[in-house]
Amino acid sequence: MRFLIFLWCCAVAMFGAEAAKGATALIEFAKIPKNASLSFEGRDIALLRHPAKADTYFALIAIDYRSTARESALHVRYSGGEKKIPLTVTEGNYTQETLSVAQEKVTPSKEQRERTEREYAEAMAIYRTHSPLRLWSRPFLLPMQSPITSPFGTARIYNGTLSGFHGGTDFRAAIGTPVHAANSGKVVLAKDRFYAGGSVVIDHGEGIYTTYYHLSALHVSVGDSVAQGAVIGLSGKSGRVSGPHLHYGVMLQGLSVDPLQFHAQIERLFLSASRN
């Protein structure tokens, strides 16, 4: 991992200059000009206050899984100038898997298609909302302690047809296993959906959402504030699944990112603070 010091006005410490498709790049800034604005490939990126270091800011950049590997850059604009921080996007080490599921979940009827389109639009409207208030103050935790049965990013072939990629991390979970909130936040979706089954989505603020799918019971409702670790529901096998498990996802800036890698990036913020 590269560590660079940028010499403009003040020192800017930076790491995370390389990120895979589907990953979250983390860039930390010390004493960045107050009026600075950030963008990455045409998207505005929020400058966020460091959770543990005074006068320090950071940026999280979601890298689109569907993008190609390339040399890119984070643009930093401030009064009197502009800097580009190079960011290399890599392919990542993702694999491919073949799944067999009920045919109706692969080729849904017209009514089912309309339902999934409605549910997709509703979810994307949530994920693209940037709630400015941060609702977390600690690193993210896994929603359960259980073996991972399918990692993020695997290209998926359903009944012989390529159907996108796995947008979350699957945990082995017998039906009825408690599912815990990865961090504190506000419930913005709690309902049954066609593909995701029993679903809970938590808004953590600043464009960060966690998602919990295929639940057999929901213990929260839209509008509820949840504390980190609170039981938000029980795992199940509802929706498009080949067996019971928990699908856990992280949405950042409207994109699915690798949950475990995202957790590790947030943890680095706290670790970097404890080193100083």
Among 175, 182, 178, CA closest to 260: 182
Which token pair is 61? 């950049």
Residue number with CB closer to Zn ion (46 or 155): 155
The Cα–Cα gap between 58 and 43 comes to 16
* Nearest residue relative to Zn ion (C-beta): 247
What is the nearest approach in angstroms of Zn ion to the Cβ of residue 162? 16
What pairing do the DSSP bridges indicate for beta strands 155-158 and 96-99? parallel
| Minimum distance of Zn ion from residue 168's CB (angstroms) | 5
- Toward Zn ion, which CB reaches closer, 183 or 235? 235
Q: To the nearest whole angstrom, how small is the minimum distance from the Cβ of residue 209 to Zn ion? A: 16
The stretch among 45-53, 118-126, 162-170, 262-270 that binds Zn ion (CB under 5 A) is 162-170
Tokens representing 50?
A: 């460091």
How many other β-carbons are positioned within 10 Å of the β-carbon of residue 103? 10
Decide: 183 and 137 in contact? Cβ < 8 Å.
no
- Give the shortest CB-155-to-Zn ion separation in angstroms: 13
| Contact region with Zn ion (CB under 5 A), list: 63-71, 98-106, 167-175, 201-209 | 167-175
x/- mask, Zn ion, residues 41-60, rule CB under 5 A, reads: --------------------
CB contact at 8 A, 185 and 250 = no
Q: Which is nearer to Zn ion, 16 or 198 (CB)?
A: 198
Do the strands 197-205 and 208-218 form a parallel or antiparallel pair, or are they unpaired? antiparallel
Number of residues that bind Zn ion (CB under 5 A): 3
Query: Considering beta carbons, is residue 139 or 259 the nearer one to Zn ion?
Result: 259
Distance of CA 62 to the CA centre of its chain: 8
Where are the strands (E) in 63-125, listed by range?
70-78, 81-90, 96-99
DSSP reduced 3-state for 96? strand
Nearer to Zn ion by Cβ, of 105 and 247: the residue is 247
170 is an interface residue for Zn ion by CB under 5 A: yes
Question: How far is 124 from 237, CA to CA, in rounded Å?
Answer: 23
Binding mask 224-253 for Zn ion (x = CB under 5 A): -----------------------x------
Of 169 and 183, nearer to Zn ion (C-beta) is 169
Our finding on whether 119 is near Zn ion (CB under 5 A) is no
To the nearest whole angstrom, how small is the minimum distance from the Cβ of residue 230 to Zn ion?
22
Q: Which stretch binds Zn ion (CB under 5 A): 29-37, 129-137, 160-168, 197-205?
A: 160-168
Backbone φ and ψ for 274, nearest 5 degrees, come out as -75, -15
CA distance 49 to 36: 13
Closer to Zn ion by CB, 21 or 240: give it.
240
- CB of 170 or CB of 258, closer to Zn ion: 170
- CA–CA gap between residue 209 and residue 255 (Å, rounded): 10
Least separation in angstroms between CB 181 and Zn ion: 18
Residues that bind Zn ion (CB under 5 A): 168, 170, 247
